[in-house]
Amino acid sequence: MLLFGLILIAIVYFAVFPDHKIGLDSAKSTDAEELLKKRFVGGEIDEDTYKRMLRTLRSN
């Protein structure tokens, strides 16, 4: 019963605040850039691909 109540509260919360982010936007961007950097340094992607993907990440 408690679980049902928590789920109901969560549904109502996200229905009222559909665009609410949990404060991870800047962290997501930084994490994505770090992952991209690791892939470039590790040789998984070339420089042109790195620059193109980084530009895409920063434009969104």
**The pLDDT of residue 56:** 92
Q: How far is CA 23 from CA 20, 44, 52, in A?
A: 9, 30, 26
pLDDT: which is higher, 9 or 51: 51
Domain assignment present for residue 50? The answer is yes
pTM over 0.85? The answer is no
**The pLDDT of residue 34:** 92
**How many domains is the chain built from?**
1
Domain residue limits at 60: 21-60
Domain assignment present for residue 14? The answer is no
